[in-house]
Amino acid sequence: MSMDSLKDRLQSSFIVFENELKEETRSPLHSIRRQAMKRFEAQGFPSVKLEDWKYTNLKPIVKGDYTVFADREQGLEFSEIKRFFLNELDTYKIVFVDGRYSSWLSSTTHQNYDICTFSAGLRRHRSVIDAYFSKAAWGERSLVALNTAFAREGAFVRIPAGKVVEKPIEVMHISTGSIGDSMNQPRGLIVLEEGAEATLIERHQNLGNARVLTNSVTEVFAGAGSHFHYLKIQNDSPTTALIDHTSIVQERDSRVDVGTFVFGGRFVRNELEFKLEGPGANAGMIGLSLVDADQFVDHHTGVDHVAPHCQSDELYKGVYDGKSQGVFNGRIMVRPGAQKTNAFQQNHNVLLGEKATVDTKPQLEIFADDVKCSHGCTIGQLDEDALFYLRSRGIPAHEAQALLLYAFGEEIIAKVPLPELRQRLSRLMARKLNVDFELSL
Partner 1 sequence: MEVLEHITRNEYAYGFTTDVESDKVPPGLNEDVIRLISAKKNEPQWMLDWRLEAYRIWQEMTEPEWANVHYEKPHFQEISYYSAPKPKKTLGSLDEVDPELLKTFEKLGISLDEQKRLTGVAMDVVVDSVSIKTTFQAKLKEMGILFCPMSEAVRDHPDLVRKYLGTVVPRTDNFYAALNSAVFTDGSFCYIPKGVRCPMELSTYFRINEAGTGQFERTLIVAEEGSYVSYLEGCTAPMRDENQLHAAVVELIALDGAEIKYSTVQNWYPGDAQGKGGVFNFVTKRGLCERNAKISWTQVETGSAVTWKYPSCILKGENSVGEFYSVAVTNHHQQADTGTKMIHLGRNTKSTIISKGICAGKSNGSYRGLVKMGPRAQNARNFSQCDSLLMGDACGSHTFPYIEIENRTARVEHEATTSKIGEDQLFYCNQRGIPTEDAIALIVNGYCKEVLNQLPMEFAVEAQKLLALSLEGSVG
The site for partner 1 (CB under 8 A) is made up of: 51, 55, 336-337, 339, 349, 351-381
| CB neighbours of residue 315 within 10 Å | 18
Task: Give backbone dihedrals phi and psi of 140, rounded to 5 degrees, phi first.
Answer: -85, -10
Label residue 181 exposed, middle or buried (CB < 10 Å: 0-12, 13-18, 19+).
middle
CB-based contact 211:179 (threshold 8 Å): no
Report in angstroms how near the CB of residue 270 gets to partner 1 at its nearest. Answer: 19
Identify whether the C-beta of residue 56 lies closer than 8 Å to the C-beta of residue 269. yes
Report, in Å, the least distance between residue 349 CB and partner 1. Answer: 8
Q: Which of these, 375, 441, 392, 438, lies nearest to 414 by C-alpha position?
A: 441
Nearer to partner 1, 48 or 414 (CB): 48
Sign of torsion over alpha carbons 25, 26, 30, 35: positive
Whole-angstrom distance, CA of residue 181 vs CA of residue 183: 7
Cβ atoms of 422 and 88 closer than 8 Å: no
- Residue 79 has a CB neighbour count (10 Å cut-off) of 7
> Is 264 within 8 Å of 241 (Cβ atoms)?
no
